[in-house]
Structure 1
Amino acid sequence: MNLHHMDSVSPPFVVDQEPIAWNNGNNQAPSGLELLTNAKKVLISQQVRWKDICSACTGCEVEKKYTIHGENGDAILWASETSGCGMRMCCGNDRSLQIGLTDFKSQEVFNLDRPLNCSGCCCSCCYPSCTQAMTVSMNGLPIGTIRERATWVYPVLHIFDPVDQQIMKVRGPCCPISCGGDVEFFVTDTEGREIASIVKKWTGCAKEMIEADNFSVEFKVDLGVKEKAVIVGAAFLIDFLHYEENNQNH
């Protein structure tokens, strides 16, 4: 399967069980960390289960699950949300949560931690204490933090290293709503050079209605695995900020 074709690949509409990990005939395969290190492009696909369809119909939010595919279409990582039922019901897409990303050996490659904060703030006095944030950790140690920037027009995220120095910026279009087409967010370094892109893929009306979101993340320059992990984390934060329904309105 070639890289161009990967963007058009759509997983089965309903996933009743976890995907079966691939192997090369002798039960040996690279770790998820190695696969991410070598990846030039990944596709994040939200799994569609019967409980997700029920969630869309009833407004009772459920924990999300995702599969991350590599350039050739093989699953390289699996992501699972952990959050409280009350948090999901009362706080909707602003909820605090953790997402663990594991490889085919069920070993955690990295972890995303998101505290409860406001979202969509346009006043600069709200930044950074009251805006959305997500911390990315490996082996229990933070490797970066993504913070929503308070803006009036374009959605912006700032990415910081473990010592709180800004290293990247993510900027989306004026209207990030996905309506019949893809939506692209650009990742730049501190000098304004584009180093990656995060694209919200249009998955069709049926899947969009149940919030089955797909994202394509392309790394346009050579990056370390920590930088790639933080950019993947930014894709998850973008999903919750702009493409998950706020169930506080139900």
Structure 2
Amino acid sequence: MFILFRTFRKILLGAILLVSVASLVLSLYLKPHFVHPNSAYVLVGILDTLILAIFLSISRKKLLASPQPVATEVLGLFTLLPFALILVLYALSITVIPDPTILGVFAILQILIFIGTILHGLYTLCLIATAMLTVCLFDRDVWCRDIDSSPSPFPMSVLFGFICPCCFASPDPAFFEDIPEQEHEALVPCLPGCNCSIAKTKTLANISESEGPGLEPTPEMRMGMVGGLSSRSLVLVPNEVERRTSIMISFEEAAYEV
């Protein structure tokens, strides 16, 4: 059982947001104790940008009533990653007054900035790798899908099954192949009461084989066999990949001769 991607994403972004807010508070607290007090403005400016971007990423659907595409998420994270790296390097170059308490608080600030940057970088790289793997496997339109949609744009059971088939259930190769129309018609079962041409063809063929070549099925026999055959057909439950695929449904008008 895998955790939902949107839940994992909110937890991770929430952790990054919490670390960034804590770093911002400590930066403001240490401002009078920096050897160069103006150094705090650089820290505060970059942290404010990161906090605003993460907050919008988490609450965009609620605030703006618009989905967050995967491409927008990746682009935003990749754009902010250099600023996070600059923040780490700048925090390591700042000096404070030689006071034991201030030095301890400043060390905590540096650790928090380092942790936030590590989480940011790992999430960015993993998201890009996961999206590219999804594109190569079965979904070329994953970049424009809502990252918080249900079902998830990244079905973990399928991805882990492809990466490590020895530990996870390997996905069926048929999910990633285009099925010819004839084979598709043979595999798709008909629901009860279906009057499509496929159901009638199968029913008439079964009647002819069971009753003999010289008997002509009556309309009552046709209706009964169609309903009986359809009621015994299994309903295929779509998996995580098939649930995200558009299905075209057409209804054919059929009339029986009486």
| TM-score, normalised with respect to structure 2 | 0.21
Higher share in helix: 2
| TM-score, normalised with respect to structure 1 | 0.22
Higher share in strand: 1
Structure index of larger Rg: 2
